Amino acid sequence: MNDRLDFAFDFDLDELAPADAASEEAVERFWSGDLTALSHHHTTPNGSHSFVVAHDQSATWGVPGAAQVMAIAVARDLTRFTFTLETSHHATVSFAQAWLVERGCPPEKIAKIRDGLMKPADDLTVWVERQIRESGTRYEVLDNHTSDSDPCETWTLTRDSSAAQEPVRLFHEEWNHDVGTYTMREGAFADVGAARAWLDDRSGPLPEPPEYSDHNGAVVRARIARIALARSAGASATPKASLDATRRPLAGPVQRPVQGRLL
């Protein structure tokens, strides 16, 4: 299984030209040698679109704290022999997936992460990630940070347009390399200053959103219970995937078949 991306082959763009200046610039900046595919989806039967989530190793050499997850969206138009290419960096896989879903990728397809990577530690993590992945334009990302130091973590600071109370939401992801798992939690704050104060001193637990305990709390608990049941059924039906604790922290045309595949 080859997880390295070969741009020309996997995206099948040799005979196509960039459709716009933004796509041309994206191609010029694109270097597939630094990317490792984490998840991907190609539309069928003819594969006019490709959606990829990848870890960008080059981000670990640049500005400390830079987002290390890249989302890539490619669309081909064979009537004009052109393509568009968009890329975006995110601190976590779930926000990269949300960006791709907004561009037409089915959420259940891009949610499938390849084997051998760290796994969610609990059902709440799975639920929070699903909420992000299917959020549409709900969360406005204000800032994010990825840390390789102890603890290994990322956080994404957002503004939740659907929140009636404490609209600034902090999504905090932390890895346990010893057991090959990670947790994702959502915190709620009245304003950005309060969220940054928590990040600076970590004097208490991440405050849960009000809807976790208000009249919507039963809905949240029911959804988490369904996730727990599905995870339990899946674990009993399939062999346990191997874990790789070395993961670094982690951003209708006429068609023809895509000749290459990422994995």
Q: What is the pLDDT of residue 222?
A: 60
For residue 169, pLDDT over 80 is answered with yes
| Beta pairing class for 139-147 and 153-160 | antiparallel
In terms of domains, do 69 and 165 share one?
no
Look at the chain and report how many structural domains it folds into.
2
Q: What is the pLDDT of residue 191?
A: 98
In terms of domains, do 18 and 96 share one?
yes
Q: Which of 180, 190, 177, 119 lies closest to 149 in space, CA to CA? A: 177
Q: What is the pLDDT of residue 59?
A: 86
Q: What is the pLDDT of residue 251?
A: 31
Encoded tokens for 232: 């339990």
Domain that holds residue 195: 118-246
pLDDT band of 31, cuts 50, 70, 90: confident
Task: Note the pTM of the prediction, 2 decimals.
Answer: 0.79
In terms of domains, do 183 and 105 share one?
no
In terms of domains, do 108 and 18 share one?
yes
In terms of domains, do 255 and 242 share one?
no
120: Cβ contacts below 8 Å, ≥ 6 apart: 126, 129, 181, 182, 183, 184
In terms of domains, do 110 and 122 share one?
no
- What is the per-residue pLDDT across 194-211, written as a single tens digit (0 to 9) for each? 999 999 999 889 999 988
In terms of domains, do 164 and 53 share one?
no
Mean pLDDT over 60-73 rounds to: 91
In terms of domains, do 26 and 137 share one?
no
Q: What is the pLDDT of residue 60?
A: 84
27, with CB counted inside 10 A (0-12, 13-18, 19+), is middle
DSSP string, 160-225: ETT-SS--EEEEEEEEETTTTEEEEEEEEESSHHHHHHHHHH--SPPPPPGGGTSTTHHHHHHHHH
